Amino acid sequence: MDENVKKPAIRFTGFTDDWEQRKLGELGTIMTGSTPSTNHSEYYSDDGIPWVTPTDITSNLISDTPRKLSKDGEKVGRVVPPNTILVTCIASIGKNALLQVKGSFNQQINSLTPNVENDPYFLISESELWSAKMKRKAAAATMQIVNKTEFYEIVTFVPTKTEQQQIGAFFRNLDNLITLHQREYLKLEK
């Protein structure tokens, strides 16, 4: 969808309304991550919650990471619920993922935890549009960064929740189909 158009050219049957212009901060709660001190080994464990860094964002979905926060680490880190969108905002700007489980992340990442009026899978599908805006904004600056306030202010267009859910379900099914075919391919390759 063109960033300046208020509705896409191709729609699911039954949807005709314009999409509403919104700031990301109006779609849910924005948070910047943090790094619990690595001098305190008790903040990290092998069986805690995922702690995401930009290098962990290699696909649209994250449910596990090599490094994890312990219960003590959760108390000092910034923890978000499942279905939170993570977006890198420093250096490698615009890498996005949907955190499928409760987790935490470092300060190079901003998060958007969607409110009940918004579908997380729709928003992760649309997040490539935010990334393009972020990359342009960062390219104009001396330092490659999009801070929490700038992230909050990014403007996007969103449809009704019903249409978001239908679009989100479409992309979720497509992602599941791709994953299934990748597994089949790897099995055949072996």
Structure confidence by residue, pLDDT tens digits, 139-163: 776 678 888 999 999 999 999 999 9
**What fold, for 22-158?**
Adenine-n6-DNA-methyltransferase TaqI; Chain A, domain 2 (3.90.220)
pLDDT, one tens digit per residue, over 108-139 is: 999 999 999 999 999 999 999 999 889 888 77
In the chain, DSSP finds a helix count (H) and a strand count (E) of 5, 11
Q: How confident is the model at residue 175 (pLDDT cuts 50, 70, 90)?
A: confident
Q: Is the pLDDT of residue 65 over 90?
A: yes
**pLDDT, averaged across the chain:** 91
Domain residue limits, the chain = 22-158
Structure confidence at residue 108 (pLDDT):
94
Residue 102 has what pLDDT? 98
Contacts of 134 (CB under 8 A, 6+ apart): 87, 89, 93, 94, 146, 151, 154
In this structure, of 6-20, 27-41, 83-97, 108-122, the range with the lowest mean pLDDT score is 6-20
Q: What integer pLDDT is reported at residue 9 of this predicted model?
A: 84
- State the Cα–Cα distance between residues 88 and 96, nearest whole angstrom: 7
| C-alpha atoms less than 13 angstroms from C-alpha of 76 in its C-beta half-sphere | 13
pLDDT at site 46: 93
Percent of the chain with pLDDT over 90: 69
